[in-house]
Amino acid sequence: MNWVTDPFSSAFMQRALAGGILVSVICSIVGTFVVLRGLAFMGDALAHGVIPGIAWATLIDAPGILGAGIAAGVTIFGVNIVTRNSRLSSDTAIGLLFVGMLALGVVVVSASDNFRGDIVNILFGDILGLGNSEIWTLAITALVVAGVVFLFHRPLLLLSFDPEQARTAGYSDKVYSTFLLFLVAGAIIVSFQTVGTLLVFAMLLAPASTGTLIGRRISTIMATAIVAGIFSAFAGLLLSFHYDLATSASIALTAVSLFFITLAASSLRLTRKHAYDPRQGSARKSNYV
Amino acid sequence: MHTTQGRVPHEKATMSESERLPHPVVRAENLTIGYKNTSVISNLSFELPFGSSLALCGGNGSGKSTLLKTMAGLLPPISGTIEVLNAPPGKQPRRVAYVGQFHNENQAFPLRVKDLVLMGRYPHRGLLRRFKKVDKQLSMQALEQLEATHLANRPVRDLSGGQRQRVYLAQALTRQADLLLFDEPATGLDPVSMGLYRKAIAQTRAKGTSIVIATHDFKEARSMDVAMLLSRVLIGIGPPATVFTKDNLTRTFGVSITETAGDTSPNTFAVETHHHHQHHDDEEITRPSPFLTPPFS
Cα–Cα separations (whole angstroms), residue B155 to A217, A259, B115: 9, 22, 9
Residue A54, min C-alpha distance to chain B (Å): 35
pLDDT at B215: 92
pLDDT at A59: 84
pLDDT at B246: 86
How far, in Å, CA of B251 to CA of B235, rounded? 7
Q: What is the pLDDT of residues B50-62, one digit of tens each?
A: 999 999 999 898 9
Terminal alpha carbon distance of chain A: 64
How far, in Å, CA of A2 to CA of B136, rounded? 52
Residue B73, min C-alpha distance to chain A (Å): 7
pLDDT at A114: 66
pLDDT at A264: 94
Question: Are B244 and B253 in contact, with CB atoms under 8 Å apart?
Answer: no
pLDDT at B250: 86
Average confidence (pLDDT) per 10 residues, chain B, 297 residues: 39 46 84 88 91 92 92 92 92 91 79 90 87 90 89 88 90 92 89 89 92 92 92 90 88 70 43 43 39 36
pLDDT at B285: 37
pLDDT at B146: 87
Second-level CATH architecture of B17-238:
3-Layer(aba) Sandwich (3.40)
How far, in Å, CA of A8 to CA of A27, rounded? 23
pLDDT at A281: 40
Residues on chain B touching A37 (C-beta within 8 angstroms) = 106
pLDDT at A74: 94
Please judge whether A288 and B147 are an interchain contact, meaning their C-beta atoms are less than 8 angstroms apart. Answer: no
B191 touches chain A (CB under 8 A): no
Find the CB nearest B192 among A38, A169, A289. Answer: A289
Q: Which residues pair with B96 in a beta bridge?
A: B179
Residue A151, min C-alpha distance to chain B (Å): 7
Residue A216, min C-alpha distance to chain B (Å): 5
Residues on chain A touching B96 (C-beta within 8 angstroms) = 168
pLDDT at B280: 42
Question: Are B56 and B23 in contact, with CB atoms under 8 Å apart?
Answer: no
What dihedral do alpha carbons B23, B28, B30, B36 form, nearest 10°? 140
Find the CB nearest B109 among A36, A167, A288. Answer: A36
B188 sits in the region (left: phi over 0; alpha: psi -120 to 50; else beta) called: left
Question: Are B172 and B182 in contact, with CB atoms under 8 Å apart?
Answer: yes
B23 touches chain A (CB under 8 A): no
pLDDT at A22: 96
Residues 6+ apart with CB under 8 A from B279: none
pLDDT at A1: 62
Second-level CATH architecture of A9-276:
Orthogonal Bundle (1.10)
* Residue B70: exposure state from Cβ atoms within 10 A (0-12, 13-18, ≥19): buried
Q: What is the pLDDT of residues A199-247, one digit of tens each?
A: 899 999 999 999 999 988 889 999 999 999 999 999 999 999 999 999 9
How far, in Å, CA of A34 to CA of A37, rounded? 5
3 state DSSP class of A152: coil
Chain B interface test: which of A168, A212, A286 (most B C-beta within 10 Å): A168
Question: Are B47 and B27 in contact, with CB atoms under 8 Å apart?
Answer: yes
Q: Within chain A, which residues score under 50 in pLDDT? A: 276-289
Helix, strand, coil abundance in chain A, percent, nearest 5: 85, 0, 15
The domain limits of chain B are 17-238
